[in-house]
A and B are shown apart, each in its own frame.
Chain A
Amino acid sequence: MEAAVEWAARLHHLWRSVTSITVRDELAALVLPPLQALPGVVAVWGLRHGPGLTVIEHRWSGHEPDPAQIEVSRALSADAGEQPRVIPLDGTPLAGVADQAVVSRFDVAGDPAGTFLVLTAPGADTGRITTCLAQVVEVTREAVRAIVVRRGEQLQQTRDALLAEASLQMDAVLDTAQTMRRVPRMAVPAIAEGCLVYVVEDGKPVMRSAVHVDMRRLSALLGDPAVADRLIALADRTIRGGGTEPGDAEALDARIVEPQVLRTRGRVIGVLIFVFDRADSQVPPASFLRDLASRAALAIDNSTLYEERRREVVTMQQHLLPTRLPVIPGLRIAASYTVGDQILEVGGDFYDVVTAGNGAAAAVIGDVCGRGVDAAALTGMARHTLAALLQEDAPPVRAMHRLNTRLRLDGSWRFVTAGVALLRPGPDGVAVDWTSAGHPAPVVMRRGGPAERGTGGGVPLGVLAEPRTGRSRVLLGPGDTLVIFTDGLTESRDADGCMFEEQALGETLERLRDAPVENLVDELSRASAAFGGTLPDDVAVLAIRAGEQPE
């Protein structure tokens, strides 16, 4: 009676303990000792089976089984059912260990089957041991079933989280190469041991990214031309609607290889090849891999389209600018134009340099508000109007007046800031007459002295019926440099909202004082972009140095 109460208490404790375990490996330590403690029990062995009832894991209490004894146990498990059976061990390699074995095998959907063998000494109460084993098997089966359910829930959580995080990560970049690296990096090893990205280029799949939990292993495989060719063939077949062939997984030294086509906007743009070493139960369903591939395809396609569009914008922008600047004796001139980051429409900054009569030259810079086709058309018109009139010796104020009239006549709501530097070389240097219609003031970098800020003034063209301009004059001595620019340069902001103009323009100019003008214009744009972390607007910079001969 006392033994029965004691067993009931052990069983109760067992039920409570197994509910908290998360992996099957923890089970043996809980379920074997109570059976071992029963009178007449020599050893308790637990087997975990693979396909064909092979033994993939074994645990023991009491006597440790050797490989021959595990093989005998495997044979006994083949005939066992869930109801424990008492099997005499006479004439078997286990005869030296025990008199009889009480054997029970259980199956749980979604996880390997298991077998208990309770080895008993002569005279043991096998009836009672049979009853106790049946109860322990019931606890074990229930615990394994709960682990399977929890694992399924966790896998689903992982996959949901992966899809969400993958979308977030992939959508956060507009760089195609980076997107193609992020896709496999997200997948490995969360859902697969390896993931390779192939994209279609000139009608053929080309590997663009590959990640494996063991990169050395993957690199060695990819270094084998036969494997590389086999993967290309697999990608090619997948693109054409086929799939894996026998031997594909073996070639990659993997258990399973699963290709998924990258399809978006009705086009096939490539293939993802997933490589699995893990157990079947851990391999995500094809529907999930398809979903991930479709999100990856969209992200890759978006970044590709973005890059194409951006290239077009940069090309179009260049068409709105002079292809080359005139050569003017006594002046060294350089210009740069930088399209703002993540900008997909043509902007409105422009510049030009023209020669006028009497050996003078005019440098023009301006900014049409807004972006897009309308702004681009206006940009072209504004630059050509000012440049053509200045080239015909029209005074800058008159040229601006004409442009203002034209803007008002067209009924455009867009306004234009503009600045013209009329440059007249003379015996004392180069006289600069600066005329501004709401444009940022120029900078004069004195040779051997600090940079000075000129004056701006005026009102943007297109706003008033009678344009209002600001005018000032400076003299450039030999080696002095006039720098004119658009507001994209000065209004770049850092994380605290401070502007480049307030915080860093002065020291940047000081640093670049002796730089050649070609470097000066590029470095100024770069410094502004670096200050803000990104360049939110286009930047045009024109630098004119007196007393240097053009190349």
Chain B
Amino acid sequence: MNDDLIFVVEDTDEDVEAIDRAISRSHPDVQVEFFRSGTEVQPRLADGTPHPRLLLLDLNMPGESGLDVVRWIRARRDLDGLTVVVFTSSEDQAEADACYAAGADSYIYKPLNFALFQSVLAQTLNYWGKVARTVVPPPGDSSAHT
């Protein structure tokens, strides 16, 4: 697992831009890879390279839905340590319940206001980052730590 890497699956241009801007401000050390659909992210998660610490997932996308992606991830043992955060403006409680039942770790509201949007993402990354740090030893010598 690569602790400094997160994947974002999001099909809306505006949200991709906002997520990129928000994370680069609050977590400049985090490397973000964007995917436009579930179909696009699946081969990358299955390619045998270290998977990211966290996957941020839109729920309503054309083609394979976010819920389908959660189910696909949780069916793979090699992705057990991957934190899946559903980031959506959906108000449907049944969708939230379905995502948790499928194995999502978080179901986070996507706010309209950018300050709030940035805060929600920053706190989500902080929370799951801390959880990751409690089980993963700190990295060794690195130029990032100079």
| Residue of A59, A213, A277 with most chain B CB atoms under a 10 A cut-off | A213
Within 8 Å CB of A64, what residues of B? 140-141, 145
Within 8 Å CB of B127, what residues of A? 189, 193, 213-214, 277
Structural contact, A185 and B26, CB atoms closer than 8 A: no
Bound state CA distance, A102 and B130, in angstroms? 32
- The reply on B131 being an interface residue by CB < 8 A is yes
Bound state CA distance, A278 and B146, in angstroms? 26
Among residues of B, the one whose C-beta sits closest to the C-beta of A44 is: B146
Q: Which of B8-34 contact A (CB under 8 A)?
A: 25-29
- The reply on A16 being an interface residue by CB < 8 A is no
Cβ contact of A278, chosen from B93, B120, B123, B145, cutoff 8 A: B123
The interface bits of chain A over 1-33 (1 if a CB of B lies within 8 angstroms of the residue's CB, else 0) are: 000000000000000000001110110110011
- The reply on B39 being an interface residue by CB < 8 A is no
Among residues of B, the one whose C-beta sits closest to the C-beta of A158 is: B119
Structural contact, A59 and B146, CB atoms closer than 8 A: yes
Within 8 Å CB of A214, what residues of B? 105-106, 127, 131
Structural contact, B109 and A29, CB atoms closer than 8 A: no
Structural contact, A32 and B112, CB atoms closer than 8 A: no
Q: Chain B interface secondary structure, helix, strand, loop or mixed? A: helix
Q: Contact residue range for chain A?
A: 35 or more
Structural contact, B107 and A189, CB atoms closer than 8 A: no
Among residues of B, the one whose C-beta sits closest to the C-beta of A62 is: B146
Known A22-B26, A64-B141, A216-B105: A165·B146 in contact at CB below 8 Å: no
Structural contact, B25 and A22, CB atoms closer than 8 A: yes
Q: Which of A64-85 contact B (CB under 8 A)?
A: 64
Within 8 Å CB of B111, what residues of A? 161-162, 165, 186, 190
Cβ contact of A277, chosen from B105, B130, B145, cutoff 8 A: B130
- The reply on B113 being an interface residue by CB < 8 A is yes
The interface bits of chain A over 140-168 (1 if a CB of B lies within 8 angstroms of the residue's CB, else 0) are: 00000000000000110110111011000
Interface contacts (Cβ under 8 Å), in number, total 91
Within 8 Å CB of B106, what residues of A? 189, 213-215
Structural contact, B105 and A161, CB atoms closer than 8 A: no
Among residues of B, the one whose C-beta sits closest to the C-beta of A154 is: B115
Known A190-B123, A278-B123, A278-B126: A60·B145 in contact at CB below 8 Å: yes
In the assembled complex, how far is the CB of residue B146 from the closest CB belonging to chain A, in whole angstroms? Answer: 4
Structural contact, A213 and B119, CB atoms closer than 8 A: no
Within 8 Å CB of B108, what residues of A? 188-189, 213
Within 8 Å CB of B128, what residues of A? 213
Among residues of A, the one whose C-beta sits closest to the C-beta of B114 is: A161
Within 8 Å CB of A29, what residues of B? 144, 146
- The reply on B1 being an interface residue by CB < 8 A is no
| Residue of A22, A158, A181, A282 with most chain B CB atoms under a 10 A cut-off | A158
- The reply on B91 being an interface residue by CB < 8 A is yes
Structural contact, B105 and A162, CB atoms closer than 8 A: no
Q: Which 5 A-B pairs have the closest CB atoms?
A: A161-B113, A189-B123, A157-B115, A158-B119, A61-B146
- Give me 10 A-to-B residue pairs in the complex whose CB atoms sit less than 8 angstroms apart, sorted by A's number: A26-B29, A29-B146, A59-B146, A64-B140, A64-B145, A154-B119, A161-B113, A182-B91, A189-B106, A213-B124
Q: Given A189-B106, A189-B108, A282-B123, list of 4 further CB < 8 A pairs?
A: A162-B116, A165-B111, A165-B113, A186-B111
